[in-house]
A and B are shown apart, each in its own frame.
Chain A
Amino acid sequence: MIAATGLVKRYLLGGQEVRALDGVDVHIGAGEMVAVRGPSGCGKSTLMNIIGCLDRPEAGSYRLDGEEVAGLDGDRLAGVRNRRIGFVFQTFNLLPRMSALDNVALPAHYGDLPDAGARARRALAQVGLDDRMHHQPNQLSGGQRQRVAIARALVMDPAIVLADEPTGALDSRTGEEILALFKQLNGQGRTIIMVTHDPAVAAHCPRQIHLRDGRVVEDG
């Protein structure tokens, strides 16, 4: 499903070149649950951005379902992000002054789906928040907010869910609940890729990819 080979991405940081990715090969099959681990600055966020089609590699090839992503223009990449990938962030990134339902429905509106509202209700039911759909984010607890964010990631029914430190802003008990939810989604056949620096979180994933200095040092 995800076939990335020889990914290279460099940044200039304070006049110095940083090789965030230095020839990374990653292959992830459908239905896998993978943790991407490594210390900060190892390139895991850059890898996630490229897999999530927010960024393009300078060199190497990234095929998503056999389609080369490097050659797509901005609008097509937005379309891929909209339909095939769901994002979950560490700090939830819900839009303020918008109900949970409207937040969840947003990707469906960008995808011009006529049944955005119904889809959003279903997604909220899936994460167990159908009784909070008219609350605004600031009326919800951290765990509830992250559930809303997961519902938003699910509303377009994407094959892949990318989570960047999804439990980083939560206490450990709520974090466990969120991880359980990810496992449940994985059980339904969805591919989950999770970036984390926390070994306890990574332990929930059958497969772990270790990055260090822009290279894969361990995969399995």
Chain B
Amino acid sequence: MRLSLVVGASLASLRANKLRSSLAMLGIIIGVAAVVSMVAIGAGAQAQVLERITAMGTDLLIIRPGQRGTGGVMSGTQQNLTLEDARALLDLPRVRQVTPVVQGMGQVKFLGRNTRVQVQGVALPYLPMRGFEVERGSAFSEAQVESSARVAVLGPVTAENLFGGAEPVGALVKVNGIGFTVVGVLKAKGDQGWFNPDDQVLVPYTVAMKQLFGLTRLREIDVQGAEGADLTQVQADVTRLLRRRHRQAEGSGDDFTIRNQAEMIETMSRVTRTFTLLLGSIAGISLLVGGIGIMNIMLVTVTERTREIGVRKAIGARNRDILRQFLVEAVVVSLLGGLVGAALGSATAWLISALGAFPARIEPTGVVLALGFSAAVGVFFGWYPARRAARLDPIEALRYE
């Protein structure tokens, strides 16, 4: 018998029992909707996390001083990263750019307004390395860094707080009582959760070290690997160089820590992938429950249609014709449920993003997978009832009342 006829007959028999068919479908609808929306939420979360990390630069090594301590008790951060370390790192073959970073809190004033923000003393490469762009005005120049010029680039939030609608570029602000000329305003990056890069002030590290905070040691050195270089390899080079410069004994622990952005991205995507998988599997369980519902309904249907099965066999249906008929019916139920569920799940995911609760991302592969899975559920849970129907003895079936 042609498959189109079998599918048509299945649809007709589902129509004949509308309430029952829709109840059987409901389990699958809820299951698929749950899978699709959960996977969308997981994928959205993954995309957001990765975007945040990528916003900080992707090919960076961030070197910070290690903790000082003896006998396992850590008693504070060491102050052992120097400008000379930074210069030496720049000479490594697989290193493209290096910037020293010093940090401090600054009270920034303009006319009657003031704000307390983080002030970063950096070199010029810091901006491209960390993915900052200057929206208005310009970054400070190499010469201004060399000459410890009192120039500042403001984050957009800081600029807004101090200037409101007024033009910040060219204005004179006071940072901890020292006058700085605003040369530029950064383009907004968005809050990163643990730190808002839009609310800070960037100044040349020279002036920050000598005049603002009176520092001789660095808070951080950022290293960017050369084009196409393996960041793990760069990290090894950096470690070797710093250990030598710090005269660390063979076998002792590093007196600095390196955060590898590439590793960070990989770790975070692994974590979010696991998270997505977890959400998806929990939702998948409801799909399984829906499948059991289908099996239940199909068993009832087979019993109810025993006589019909007997008649079909008497007029020449083979066991496999009967098997196929009931299997197709189960798959039609689950696939229809899957389609409705996928639509419902996508709508839910869309609604969640639209309401701004979570950045859901509907994955076409996820939808296709959920549909395929629901069809598989139909085959799996339809198999036993269909086989029972196929194995009915035609004489018994014809006699069934």
Contact = CB atoms under 8 A, between A and B. Distances in A.
Interface of A: 49, 52, 54-55, 74-75, 78-79, 81-83, 87, 89, 93, 95, 97-98, 106-107, 109-112, 152, 156
B317 A78 contact: yes
A80 to B, nearest CB: 8
Contacts of B308: 95
Nearest to A83: B316
Interface string B298-320: 00000000011011111111111
A7 B175 CA distance: 112
B318 A78 contact: yes
Contact of A93 (B13, B311, B318): B311
Given A49-B395, A93-B307, A82 B1 contact: no
Interface string B373-401: 00000000000000000000011001000
A72 to B, nearest CB: 12
B315 A75 contact: no
Interface string B315-329: 111111100000000
Nearest to A155: B315
B143 interface: no
B346 to A, nearest CB: 34
Contacts of B318: 74-75, 78-79, 110
Contact of B316 (A55, A93, A98, A107): A107
20 contacts: A52-B314, A54-B394, A54-B398, A55-B395, A75-B318, A75-B319, A78-B317, A81-B316, A83-B316, A87-B315, A93-B398, A95-B311, A97-B12, A106-B315, A109-B5, A110-B315, A110-B321, A112-B2, A152-B315, A156-B316
A97 B398 contact: no
Given A81-B315, A93-B398, 6 more contacts: A78-B316, A78-B318, A106-B315, A109-B1, A110-B315, A156-B316
Given A75-B319, A97-B16, A106 B314 contact: no
Nearest to A76: B318
Nearest to B2: A109
A151 to B, nearest CB: 12
B328 to A, nearest CB: 14
Contact of A87 (B16, B307, B314): B314
Nearest to A82: B316
B316 A110 contact: yes
B316 A54 contact: no
A74 B310 CA distance: 14
A82 B13 CA distance: 24
B315 A107 contact: yes
B312 to A, nearest CB: 7
Interface in B82-118: none
Contacts of A74: 318-319
A95 B313 CA distance: 13
B133 to A, nearest CB: 69
Given A95-B308, A97-B12, A97-B16, A82 B315 contact: yes
Contacts of A54: 313-314, 394-395, 398
Contacts of B320: 75
B319 A81 contact: no
B306 to A, nearest CB: 12
B1 A110 contact: yes
A111 B13 contact: no
A110 B317 CA distance: 6
Contacts of B315: 81-82, 87, 106-107, 110, 152
Contacts of A82: 315-316
Choose among B314, B317, B395, B398 the residue with the greatest number of A CB atoms under 10 Å from its CB: B314
Contact of A106 (B312, B319, B398): B312
A107 B394 CA distance: 15
A52 B394 CA distance: 11
Choose among B308, B310, B318 the residue with the greatest number of A CB atoms under 10 Å from its CB: B318
A110 B319 CA distance: 11
Nearest to B305: A95
B216 to A, nearest CB: 91
Interface string B1-29: 11001000000110010000000000000
B134 to A, nearest CB: 74
Nearest to B313: A78
Contacts of B307: 93
Contacts of A89: 311, 398
Contacts of B314: 52, 54, 81, 87, 93
B380 to A, nearest CB: 25
Contacts of A75: 318-320
Contacts of B13: 97
Contacts of A107: 315-316
Nearest to B15: A97
B162 to A, nearest CB: 78
A74 B311 CA distance: 15
Nearest to B317: A110
A85 to B, nearest CB: 9
Contacts of A97: 12-13, 16
Contacts of B394: 54
B1 to A, nearest CB: 5
Contact of A111 (B5, B316, B319, B395): B316
Nearest to A111: B316
